[in-house]
Amino acid sequence: ASSSRCEATKASFYNRKTVEIVDLDWDNLGFGVVPTDFMYVMKCSQKEIFTKGELVRYGPIELTPSSGVLNYGQGLFEGLKAYRKEDGSILLFRPYENALRMKMGAERMCMPAPTIEQFVDAIKFVVLANKRWIPPTGKGSLYIRPLLIGSGAILGLSPAPEYTFLVFVSPVGNYFKEGLAPISLVVENEHHRAAPGGTGGVKTIGNYASVLKAQKRAKENGYSDVLYLDSVHKKYLEEVSSCNIFIVKNKVISTPELKGTILPGITRKSIIDVARGLGYQVEERPLLVEELLDADEVFCTGTAVVVSPVGSITYLGRRVEYGDKGVGVVSQQLYSALTRLQMGLSEDKMGWTMLV
Ligand code: COI
């Protein structure tokens, strides 16, 4: 391990000083895994705290078949992005928020979590070590995927005896195959994503496995993704499989309130503040599914999807269209305001961006 750490340290220094950028087809990046140079790994036992991690070569990890994550789904993940600026500097967007969310999720999943500083330092290390994989300005970003998993062996149901915090990265472009064009959603009537008292409000890996079936069916039927309703009344909007949802009506922007069943998105929270800063009234409240029928615009937010305009939603066989096949004015304005901030093109009055 110490020789790989040494190698990693040398390589990150090398990447920083000399290697500019890898030779990739930057114009055709989607949202897929591109293997990079290094990942960050830190381990601790159930009774300990995380102390020291290291950069190692990106690649398969060794995991016992009896690990808590493989058998009982004891795992969390995060997602954030690094952007390359024209002047070569690198910007992270609100990494402390991801660190905090992982800490809260870890409490819910009975796992020890890295401290906020450990989390942010790990992100910086891994981004610098993989600097040559950050897309050129305007071509995409480096998606950063922190994982916290129960890696220790367990057979009876209880928290695992050992935990691994791991961060890997991949250069990405647009999440949906539609690119920046409006996506089509279908309201899901059979399956639910979350229930009160469950784990819908934390970024546990199981939340994402349970949406695959409905998402698969939706894609087979030509939709981009699924919009979930609450599991109690089956009439309030919750979220899309991979992102939060907003509607715009008469210039008022609304999004479902956070009540434990909805993922507290960092882009969701940022868009609320950006919109208020631009003078919009923003409401966090229960949103009835019927409100989709006469909305002026609908859009989704997430780290991966950024701000994705919704072109149509189908509910009980009835299809409603928005934006006349184009991007709505409010969605476009919010997309531009957020991405300009993330890429360092506008003044960061909120102190959200961090130079690596
Ligand atoms: C993200 O937006 O970063 C997420 O974690 C969602 C994931 C399904 C890509």
Q: Which pLDDT score is estimated for 19?
A: 58
Q: Which pLDDT score is estimated for 326?
A: 81
243, 262, 266: residue to mutate for ligand 1 pocket, most atoms within 8 A of CB? 243
The b-or-e profile of 208-235 (16+ CB within 10 A means b, else e) is eeebeebbeebeeeebbbbbbbbbeeee
Helices 116-129, 95-108: inter-axial angle, 10-degree rounding: 130
User: Is the CB of residue 301 below 6 angstroms from any atom belonging to ligand 1?
Assistant: no
Ligand 1 nearest-atom number relative to CA 145 = 3
For the chain, residues with pLDDT lower than 70 are 1-19
ipTM of the complex: 0.98
User: pLDDT tens, 94-109?
Assistant: 999 999 999 999 999 9
Distances (CA, A) of 44 to 19, 23, 47, 173, 220: 34, 37, 8, 34, 43
Q: Which pLDDT score is estimated for 4?
A: 42
Of the candidates 80, 130, 134, 74, the one whose C-alpha atom is nearest the C-alpha of residue 105 is 74
Q: Which pLDDT score is estimated for 280?
A: 97
Contact 77, 113 (CB under 8 A): no
User: Is the CB of residue 79 below 6 angstroms from any atom belonging to ligand 1?
Assistant: yes
User: Is the CB of residue 304 below 6 angstroms from any atom belonging to ligand 1?
Assistant: yes
Q: Which residues are catalytic?
A: 203
For ligand 1, atom 6: residue with the closest CA: 242
